[in-house]
Amino acid sequence: METVDSHYLFVVNSNNVFNFMFSLSKETSVVKLMQLLMFGGESFRMASDKSSHKECVKTKSLNLTIELVPATVWYSSLYKILKERGKLDEWREIKRKLYAKEGRKCYICGSKKGPFEAHEFWEYDDENHVQRLVAVHHLCSLCHKIKHIGFWCYTEDGRKKLKEMGLSKKDLIEHFCKVNNCTPEEFEMHEQEAFGIWRERSKYQWKQDFGKYQKYLE
């Protein structure tokens, strides 16, 4: 597996939200659940309120962070577009150049245990709503799962696959804490902040800027 697309439905990691999600009927549509997530009550406090601002200050120095792509730009990753256009040779070329430049190791934690998965690093201009692709780097399996924790820990398919690999959310939290030299409580704080930011950004349409990777799309 070369990459894991982050095009899945995410929920905030709090007991109230978790229980609420599973109280929904199986017939609940994705659109309806999105509406509940986007316009829900106090369980979905935004990262911009006072308490979340304190959390943001504490998590800025983390080496490994959770990255949740806004729902309005799911299915628009560089990998996804190249795959749809039948141009995966271009993606393989990106990976070859990464191995030549960075070696066969995780860009974040330095692990040399493969397989390594290419991850797209995006920056966000929240004022002008521009999503900018700034880099692609190889990550180890655990670091990459943290990046896409919404899929691996909050979807049925993700949890099933994680279990088949002999892993659990506890393993991901332990890896996160080891890489960042932090506590599980700090992980919890960062995760809640990440979902709060995701919820706010998912309210807007984003213009995508592929930067130096635009050439692979031409």
Cis peptide before 70 (omega within 30 of 0): no
- Rounded Cα distance between 59 and 67, Å, is 13
Q: Please indicate whether residue 85 or residue 35 has the higher confidence score (pLDDT).
A: 85
In angstroms, the Cα distances linking 112 to 4, 34, 60, 119, 129 are: 19, 38, 26, 16, 36
Asked whether residue 33 is domain-assigned, the answer is yes
Asked whether residue 172 is domain-assigned, the answer is yes
What pLDDT score does 75 carry? Answer: 87
Asked whether residue 6 is domain-assigned, the answer is no
pLDDT band for 55, please (50, 70, 90 cuts).
very low
Half-sphere exposure of 69 (CA within 13 A, CB side): 25
Condensed to tens digits (0 to 9), the pLDDT of residues 101-116 reads 999 999 999 999 999 9
Asked whether residue 10 is domain-assigned, the answer is no
Condensed to tens digits (0 to 9), the pLDDT of residues 147-194 reads 999 999 999 999 999 999 999 999 999 999 999 999 999 999 999 999
Q: Is the pLDDT of residue 72 over 70?
A: yes
Domain that holds residue 23: 15-217
Asked whether residue 7 is domain-assigned, the answer is no
Asked whether residue 140 is domain-assigned, the answer is yes
Yes or no: say if 126 and 33 are a contact pair by the CB < 8 Å rule.
no
Asked whether residue 204 is domain-assigned, the answer is yes
Asked whether residue 55 is domain-assigned, the answer is yes
Report the domain count for the chain.
1
